[in-house]
Structure 1
Amino acid sequence: MDRVYIFLGLFATVLFLEATGGSYMISAVQSIERQFQIPSKLSGFLISASDISYVPTVIFISYLGSRGNRAKWIGAGTVLMAMAHIFTATPNFIFPAEQPKLNLTTIEETLLPAKLLSEADAKLEQFFEYQPIRDRIPSDLLSTDDTPFKVYEQSLYSLDEPLISQALHHMNLILSGDEDEKPLLEVLRKFVKNRHINTQEDFAIIRRAAIAPFTFCGKLVNDLRSVLTGSFVPFLDLKCHQKSSNVGPLLIIFTALLALGIGRTMPWSLGIPLIDDNVKKHSMPLYFACISFIRILGPITGFIIGSLANKLYFTTPTPQGLSPTDPTWIGAWWLGFLLIGIITILPSCILFFFPASSNSDKVMPTENETKPKKKNQLLLFDKHMDEKRSPEEQTLKGGAKAFLKSYKDVVGSKIYVGTVIGRILDVLAFKGYVVFLPKYLENHYGIPQYRVQLYMAAFGVFGFALGTITGGLITRKFKLNGRKVALFVLIVSTINTLMYLSKCFLGCHSIVNSVGLDGASTNFNYTRSCNMDCGCQGAQLFPVCDPSGNVYYSPCHAGCRHVSVLDLGSYNLEFSDCDCVPGKIVKKEFCHDNCSFMTVAFFVTVMIGAFIAGTGVVPGMLILLRSVPPATRSISLGLQGFLVSLLGTLPSPVIWGFIIDSACLVWEQTCSSRGACAIYDPIKLRLRMHLLYVAIRMISMFSDLYVLYHSKNLNILEDPDEDNEQDENEEVKRVEDIQLSTMH
């Protein structure tokens, strides 16, 4: 098989694995935090470690690698990446961490009934002070109102539900004057007796309720939830006041990710020029499109591996009763790093030991020699680079001069400078937008997180990948060259900017937005007299509605003391005994918004925009590659990576984070301080996100115009070397034919 195709397969594989590992890190961060109790500010710093090492090293490695056997350099880089992934997993074994011990003494003591409740002369008021009873009895029954008795089954929080139902029945009879207190006291005594016997079972029920994605009116459950999330004052030692930095594992992971950043400088900056040397220039768009398509599939694979790994516990055996839905669950984060690292070793080693066809790769032909490239020969050394360096270049001073001269030749190209500026601005706009897009979709259109990832993969990633293939085919089919290819890139940028501008008008009045707008009249304080004693201070946003369509921040804020699972298959929930609701019942099914059409319209623009943006990838990269002298292609890609990472990738999330936070209406409270934003002003959020993106892209279009102006003589599809080589081959063949005829 042609060595060019073998290299292409190996190169595409390592690019795919590199992208897979990059996205997997995002899915592993939370489990790393839990195992080693690393604060979020440090885990965020970890994610940036590979960029920190990439930025200062890429310009040097791309320069040095371009002057050697590029396959070996790429192989060395990917071996380093493989080792870095494996090394990242080692703290799990070097620093084994026990599961955090939760101080649940107070919760358990509250669950146990006081001794006086077992005495014969216990009063009714004393029973009502017992928290499991107080949580289950509606506040209006504890006062003077008459409430009809209802029985609900399959409750998530049902401490002797039949006895509680009997107690409610007797309370109604007492309030109506048809019965005295004795039957009620008998029922409550039996309930208290069962609490002594079934304390552990009761605690398991409360624990299940505490890890549910919703909160309801139950102080015991909400106190336990606060313990698990670290926001409950008596248990600050669990999370909020955790001062252990775990320097050892953090240092290992940080060092491994630094090595990962150095390793990933080599494949892209050296591999693309190597392929460019070994394929016909008119075929390069198609090759590049296929490689980019495979690379784009990497992040999807990384998230899938992360999902599977996080369903496994980080050690064995799994603690009894613990599940992946539990806030204290620690996924097997290390497993994915090992898997990706081990798989990467094989193609990395093959590349590192990739055989040169002959030593002639390094020998430059003399003026009287004609040395055509053999059919199966793979040019591992840059054919435009003279390996015979002058004695002056071999000194430190001479090498530094050659290094600076190479970069001077690169930045001297007006087309290159304009292209890089445009790329920096594109990444500055796109990176931050994509990071916060899931949050925007959840808050603005009410789309659950798990669906957001699915929709973005289906409409965004695959649309972009198909656009990349299409762009390569268009470039080759229509032979875009010179100003034609620059004009094509400008048209793509213009259409893409217009697609994002159209999203400014795709607003809707979602359920989450309704909660925010309803809270404006009370300064976003959702606590009222009817839910004062429910412990809703740390309640998660879980909008529910009554039959009339009125929206409540959470079942807890609706004063609901009971939840029933109506359908286990669909997890259809009904919250009842709601003190703040006239009909006493709330459900998500009662909530209706007008976002269906706008959601479809939004993702149509996402699909079209991603496809259009993808068509510009191949011609844009070819413009960059052809805008510099052939001998400086690797250097140009390295410098571009340096500038894009430094000025685009690193600052973009910070800028966008500031813009997103500026539209916040309601902040969650974590550890007595402001946490994440729960509800945004929908209009401000929509306009600020998309207008910022459009503004940056419009500035970027000026760089596209600049490139268009200077690209009259730009040649991306035709290579004079190929024509000369063909003429030389024909001349050699003609001479050989003459010699053979003379011999005969």
Structure 2
Amino acid sequence: TSLKDRSRSSEHCSCGMFLVALSFAYFAKALSGSYMKSTITQLERRFDIPSYLIGVIDGSFEIGNLLVIAFVSYFGAKLHRPKIIAVGCVLMSIGTFIIALPHFIIGRYGFNLYVYLFSSAADLMYFAFQLTVVKGESNLSMWIYVLLGNVLRGIGETPVQPLGISYIDDFASEENAALYVGCVQTISVVGPVFGYLLGSLCAKIYVDIGFVKMETISITPADARWVGAWWLGYLIAGVITLLSAIPFWFLPRSLPISGPQNVCYVSSTDFIPTLRTLLGHPVYLIYLCVTIIQLNSLIGMVTYKPKYIEQHFRQSASKANFLMGVINIPAVALGMFSGGLLMKRLKLNIMGAARFAFGTSLIGYILSLFFFAMSCENAKVAGVTLNYNSLEGISYDKHSVFTTCNSGCYCSATEWDPVCGENGITYVSPCLAGCTSSVGSGKNTVFSNCSCIGVDGNFTASTGQCPNKDDCDRMFPYFLALSVITSFIISLGGTPGYMLLIRCIKPQLKSLALGFHALATRTLAGIPAPIYFGAIIDTTCLKWGQKRCGGMGACRIYNTTAYRYSHMHLFMPHMSLYCQGVKLILVQGPH
């Protein structure tokens, strides 16, 4: 009995050490991954690129995975798994530092700024010029460094999940394995809390902080041209990821367990027959397909959710990231941990786990239908969502920014320098508002004698868009509450579903099954979802920015109604198919 107790104690101690190290690695990779998603609008504006291209950058992480995942999953189990994970963490750190590199290579950030000169006859002479605090034109193709750094992050992340989870499942007792996996998965969701909070903090700080005088900056964090210190968070995330590699260098190749070891590996010559056997397993194949379907919707939603909050409910990037970190992500973490705990308490088998996952997904799907009702009126922008001749109702017909009141001002139709009129309407620029004089400077500039504002054309305008978000502020708390509830319920089935994946196949196929699952989900969900979600979001843009060298830049304002419907119409069919797939597993039964 004493020997058995010592053996059990040794198992708990050894597994505990590896569990802590793996949890920290999961935390680090989740933090940097979520920080990447929190900076998508910052990257769009900094490099003047559309959403679909941001989707390509986001999907490049999965491309890095694909380059080595088959090799790591199949042959990694025969090697020193902790040291392979350590090498992966170092590569992730290097990739994260490379992402931040463009900030130190290109010049200072420049945004459109307008200068108004007035003759003695009060005739407006309008000039638009680029802010020249930069030392020449920045090389906008520098976003390639972000893409390459993300690819390297993907390569480094590859061994962490399949080798880490299989290591725990091999050397932990069966009764503890589900709880351990639940703990690791929970930590991986806690990481994004800090990732989004870091994103919130950095989004408040101007991109060139320390290099420019802040009193000369005329835009605020609420402005569509604002870019936060996106590079700072990548430096912090890189250091944390580098630290996560250290413990793995000191962990053993294998751990002591009580009872006979049941770890089997397949010869490399049997790869094709083994893969054929794996894909011939009906439960594994069905669950693989439904997971791909579900992840398409979830990855697309999570990638652009901060952007959705910014555009639809007119919140700043900093606030959107903060709310994701402190409200939405903790609900997901609690759901995943509760799912692992319930699976242990209820002692669910394969079919029990499938029923549990089906029930939570079905409830989440039904609740998600209410998102269609979470509407918020589009911003009132003359010449974009409003006709100059009728400023009463929102209209998405193609409007002209030129009209009688600004016809003699020689304005540019492509620039975006919004001002808020005294009548509560936003105008694309002071020139297009027909303003002929101004007082003050920077954020405190006030334009007057604006011929397009008011009946007599003698009203004033201030810099920036009009708030006009009373209806958004009323609806936003309901959106957050529903988002938290659905996130918790859907994630409740995450751990049972993952254990279903592990338990439905033979022990010797475990590493290959996890690796192939990761390969398939990254190829068919992780890469395409951000790209086609981003491309569809781009179709709802009402006003594109202009690059300094010419050509289309980042979007400045969206048709929020079309944005909401396209966003939800992509999400709902995926969830419906997922529910049908898990139901098919229940009908199929274990084989």
CA distance in 2 between counterparts of 1:324 and 1:294 reads 39
Q: 2:179 aligns to what? A: 286
CA distance in 2 between counterparts of 1:292 and 1:673 reads 44
**8 Å CA contact retained: 1:85, 1:337:** yes
- Residue 101 of structure 1 deviates from its aligned partner by 11
- Classify 1:544/1:55 alpha carbon distance in 2 versus 1 (closer, same or farther; 3 Å): same
Q: Give the unaligned 5+ runs of structure 1.
A: 112-130, 144-216, 230-234, 362-371, 394-398, 714-744
- Classify 1:451/1:350 alpha carbon distance in 2 versus 1 (closer, same or farther; 3 Å): closer
Asked if 1:496 is matched to 2:364, the reply is yes
Asked if 1:598 is matched to 2:504, the reply is no
Q: 1:478 aligns to what? A: 346
The number of equivalent residue pairs is 559
Give the secondary-structure state (helix, strand or coil) at the position aligned to 2:377: coil
Q: 1:580 aligns to what? A: 452
- Alpha-carbon deviations, 1:94-126, whole Å to 9, x = none? xx7473699x9xx9xx99xxxxxxxxxxxxxxx
**8 Å CA contact retained: 1:524, 1:666:** no
Q: 1:176 aligns to what? A: none
- Alpha-carbon deviations, 1:667-725, whole Å to 9, x = none? 44445434444444444332222122111221222211122223457xxxxxxxxxxxx
Q: 2:323 aligns to what? A: 455
- Residue 33 of structure 1 deviates from its aligned partner by 10
Identity of aligned residues (%): 25
CA distance in 1 between counterparts of 2:561 and 2:230 reads 40
Q: 1:10 aligns with which of 16, 21, 39?
A: 21
Asked if 1:406 is matched to 2:274, the reply is yes
Q: 2:126 aligns to what? A: 219
CA distance in 1 between counterparts of 2:340 and 2:360 reads 13
1:454 partner amino acid: F
Q: 2:248 aligns to what? A: 351
- Classify 1:556/1:502 alpha carbon distance in 2 versus 1 (closer, same or farther; 3 Å): farther
CA distance in 1 between counterparts of 2:117 and 2:582 reads 68
Taking structure 1 as the reference length, what is the TM-score of the superposition? Answer: 0.64
- Alpha-carbon deviations, 1:375-396, whole Å to 9, x = none? xxxx9xxx43347x8xxx5xxx
**8 Å CA contact retained: 2:313, 2:469:** no
- Residue 298 of structure 1 deviates from its aligned partner by 2.3
- Residue 489 of structure 1 deviates from its aligned partner by 0.8
**8 Å CA contact retained: 1:513, 1:681:** no
- Residue 73 of structure 1 deviates from its aligned partner by 2.8
Task: Show the 5 A alignment for 1:188-587.
Answer: 219-220=126-127, 222-224=128-130, 238=137, 257-305=150-198, 311=205, 318=211, 333=231, 337=234, 339-355=236-252, 373=258, 383-386=261-264, 393=267, 399-400=268-269, 402-512=270-380, 516-519=384-387, 520=395, 523-532=398-407, 533=409, 535-540=411-416, 542=418, 544-547=420-423, 549-550=424-425, 552-553=427-428, 555-560=430-435, 576-582=448-454, 584-586=459-461
Q: 2:567 aligns to what? A: 689
CA distance in 2 between counterparts of 1:477 and 1:228 reads 62
Q: 2:7 aligns to what? A: none
2:126 partner amino acid: K
Q: 1:162 aligns to what? A: none
**8 Å CA contact retained: 1:545, 1:590:** no
Task: Show the 5 A alignment for 1:602-681.
Answer: 602-670=479-547, 671-681=549-559
Q: 1:121 aligns to what? A: none
CA distance in 1 between counterparts of 2:56 and 2:238 reads 22
CA distance in 2 between counterparts of 1:606 and 1:537 reads 38
RMSD of aligned Cα (Å): 4.4
Task: Show the 5 A alignment for 1:67-78.
Answer: 67-78=78-89
1:500 partner amino acid: S
- Residue 498 of structure 1 deviates from its aligned partner by 1.7
CA distance in 2 between counterparts of 1:313 and 1:446 reads 21
CA distance in 2 between counterparts of 1:66 and 1:289 reads 21
- Residue 306 of structure 1 deviates from its aligned partner by 5.6
- Classify 1:477/1:263 alpha carbon distance in 2 versus 1 (closer, same or farther; 3 Å): same
**8 Å CA contact retained: 1:486, 1:711:** no
**8 Å CA contact retained: 2:57, 2:147:** yes
Q: 2:70 aligns with which of 52, 59, 63?
A: 59
- Classify 1:6/1:492 alpha carbon distance in 2 versus 1 (closer, same or farther; 3 Å): same
CA distance in 1 between counterparts of 2:310 and 2:61 reads 29
- Alpha-carbon deviations, 1:2-51, whole Å to 9, x = none? 1211111111001111122334456778999999x898899876554432
- Classify 1:681/1:44 alpha carbon distance in 2 versus 1 (closer, same or farther; 3 Å): closer
- Residue 601 of structure 1 deviates from its aligned partner by 2.0
- Residue 62 of structure 1 deviates from its aligned partner by 0.7
CA distance in 1 between counterparts of 2:372 and 2:44 reads 37
- Residue 455 of structure 1 deviates from its aligned partner by 2.3
- Classify 1:325/1:271 alpha carbon distance in 2 versus 1 (closer, same or farther; 3 Å): farther
Q: 1:156 aligns to what? A: none
Taking structure 2 as the reference length, what is the TM-score of the superposition? Answer: 0.79
**8 Å CA contact retained: 2:58, 2:530:** no
**8 Å CA contact retained: 2:367, 2:486:** yes
- Classify 1:219/1:354 alpha carbon distance in 2 versus 1 (closer, same or farther; 3 Å): same
- Alpha-carbon deviations, 1:529-578, whole Å to 9, x = none? 3234173534437473534x555455553334566789x9xx88865432
- Alpha-carbon deviations, 1:181-238, whole Å to 9, x = none? xxxxxxxxxxxxxxxxxxxxxxxxxxxxxxxxxxxx9834x4345x789xxxxx9x83
Give the secondary-structure state (helix, strand or coil) at the position aligned to 2:449: strand
Q: Which structure has the bigger radius of gyration?
A: 1
- Classify 1:9/1:555 alpha carbon distance in 2 versus 1 (closer, same or farther; 3 Å): same
CA distance in 1 between counterparts of 2:44 and 2:534 reads 22
Q: 1:719 aligns to what? A: none
2:164 partner amino acid: G
- Residue 325 of structure 1 deviates from its aligned partner by 7.6
CA distance in 1 between counterparts of 2:552 and 2:335 reads 42
